[in-house]
Structure 1
């Protein structure tokens, strides 16, 4: 009888300990080396892996992706009133109107309610940008707490960055590759003699142009080239041929620089 009581007590203690760590532990078979799971982030349905921890022999979720949230982070719940978000992205609370902290798992496309794609069909990019700034601009929360003022400044700045990035094809292309973990070195020289010779000829033509009509004619030719390489990037990106996508971006960069020079002279 005494042994039975000791066993029951030990079971109760173990049960309490398991409940206290239920946020982190899983019921997966310890023999499993890794299993894909859905992200706990409200904004980001990414993937992580479950790995065995040496701490207590338990299995814990290990984060192998950048900007992946921890299990105890209520990223979909308002910090001020506690209401669960009903809309994405969760930049401000629909209930109490409080500005929320920045969550890096929300990408620029999500901020504007767009699909993650090179071609943006939504023509209301500027309108959405202005609508967000009406809710997030720091000047509009001057009567709020210092905490919310800080959130507003960060969110407003991020919306500005998102707008500036998505409205231009080149920066949008670079950002898309960045989301795939691919860095683009815009300063890298392209080893294509024909391209370099063409760029040199166009630059000389721009320097020698004496009137706006000549400059606009050259600009039209540059725009045609940009359109060609933009389509080339889109095709490569959609097919996940990222090396070709980088090549297209590097060529787009040359023509964008020439276009900037033309705009300055007009």
Structure 2
């Protein structure tokens, strides 16, 4: 984390707002180790959510981060506060890989990746203008923080087939929702360690799980164990003195059979 903070202070690459928004997707922005662009497609759904995607085209050998990378790095974030008629913006994430750097490991991607983004509108019947500030890190031997300020007009070309394909592909890359037959079940929390059981469609020798630290929670790398044909994960965790009254913590469970994402109840 010290290395990251040093780079953050000295090497952030900034791409400013491109001016008046005139397209429903941004041009590619080239930075060291990657190209990025923000895409939207179509009108908002009945719930007032406009779909989009952040495409991160990594140069071979470069990497970027998941929603909770661990002890090293920071997750991609998006801030749409400067937009018009946008209440909030939120990324979703494909299943990550675990990367071992010797002294530490982290969760992320070593291949081009598209992050679905949901823009929640204040009023779907009114025009939308998106001005989004995006922050992420791309890494080779060192990590380069990137801040990009992007302006787009979702109504400029809402039926563009290439944009629609990009947004659809990003959504299709997500893990499917966890179910009672494929997901996690909390066993207990004791002495700062959380134990969960992985409910798997078959086997478990290849399973891995990624927890997202949020709302005052944080997690170390989990350890997998097998007992009586069941798969368990034990993870050192910290939690706030008082947990929120509703909601939970994101997790992604990955196996060779596929990946699922779910919400772990606060503990």
Whichever of the two has the greater Rg, that structure is: 1
TM surpasses 0.5: no
Q: Which has the higher helix share?
A: 1
TM-score range with shorter-chain normalisation? under 0.3
Q: Which has the higher strand share?
A: 2
Query: TM-score by structure 1 length?
Result: 0.20
